Amino acid sequence: MSEKRYPCKCAICDHQFFVTKSILQHSGYNECGHGRCPKCKTFLNLTFVPELEIMRSMEWSEYVKRRLENERKRKEGVEKDQRSD
């Protein structure tokens, strides 16, 4: 029995390919996938979208940049809440 494959489109070159879930994605951590586009070889973050049964891709450095920015904003919000107590 083979593992289910999900459609994915490269965020850089729009090449359509299929991928399987990572171990962490099987555990519910849907953003925890990565791989290279078979066409342009760009290293990508692969996020599983369960409602659509697809993988969304994002260039890895852009993904890291967004995660760090979101974490910074979250910490600023926590600090602001603590100061207002």
Question: What are the pLDDT digits (tens) for 13-60?
Answer: 999 999 999 999 999 999 999 999 999 999 999 999 999 999 999 999
pTM: 0.83
- Residue 77: per-residue pLDDT: 84
Token readout for 5 is 């494959």
Contacts of 44 (CB under 8 A, 6+ apart): 10, 11, 12, 34, 35, 36, 37, 57, 58, 59, 60, 63
